[in-house]
Chains A and B, each alone.
Chain A
């Protein structure tokens, strides 16, 4: 146990680095050609091209699972900002005048982004999916503090 445990931990770390390297290599060899082909298309609009470029950039980002989880939480809490963003995206897609083939290509590109990100990002996905793990801060309950501390009242007003 005393010999195997450190070796297992360090080999897991090496395996993670290997997965990251493999993801970088696969992105360069497989995804980059398709994204450049997509950017050169004439039947795709600028918005779809923007989506493809951001998908390429995001496929190696470490923040992606946290952003996904926070957006899902906002949507569950009926946050007005998230609702507005979703509605605007749907409207833009409806107005968009690019061909069906380009849209299917973009769908497959986004799917590839998720597979590449999941292939090396599993620990962070598990960490983000924990129920009581939050990265962003909770907003301070202002009324409570204003009532409880008379001296702090002005300070909180200044801060807001």
Chain B
């Protein structure tokens, strides 16, 4: 850091050279340059819209998965109740048979 503060000449040269090279490149083929410019302009609304859409998608997915889990728990409870009823019935039959 201290050396850069002392002698920033090479940074200046480097930035100048790269900027000149970029300008020359875009002068040579303006199609790529205009595509980049339009993408730079359009990136902000695109990012906003896509973020909104991905958030909506995540919320929907979470909702459906939670619903499915609730249904699974409900069906497991029902199965348990059924099995317990069957067990009670079996126990009663065995006791009556034994008595």
Residue of A3, A6, A13, A39 with highest tally of chain B CB at under 10 A: A6
Assembled-state Cα–Cα distance A40/B74 (Å): 11
Q: Which residues of A contact B (CB under 8 A)?
A: 2-3, 5-7, 9-10, 13-14, 17, 20-21, 24, 27-28, 32, 35-36, 39-40, 46, 49-50, 53, 56-57, 60
Q: Count the B residues whose beta carbon is within 8 Å of the partner chain — how many? A: 24
Assembled-state Cα–Cα distance A24/B38 (Å): 26
A-B pairs with CB below 8 Å: how many?
66
Residue of A21, A24, A27 with highest tally of chain B CB at under 10 A: A24
B39 & A39 in contact (Cβ 8 Å cutoff) = no
B71 & A28 in contact (Cβ 8 Å cutoff) = no
A57 & B61 in contact (Cβ 8 Å cutoff) = yes
A2 & B49 in contact (Cβ 8 Å cutoff) = no
A39 & B71 in contact (Cβ 8 Å cutoff) = yes
B68 & A53 in contact (Cβ 8 Å cutoff) = yes
Provide the main secondary structure of the chain B interface.
helix
- 15 new A-B pairs (CB below 8 Å) besides A9-B35, A28-B56, A39-B68? A2-B34, A6-B35, A13-B39, A14-B42, A17-B46, A17-B50, A21-B49, A24-B57, A24-B60, A27-B60, A32-B63, A36-B67, A39-B71, A53-B65, A57-B64
Query: Does B87 count as interface, using CB distance less than 8 angstroms?
Result: no
B50 & A20 in contact (Cβ 8 Å cutoff) = yes
Known: A20-B50, A28-B56, A46-B72. A56 touches B64 (CB 8 A): yes
B61's nearest neighbour on chain A, judged by CB, is: A57
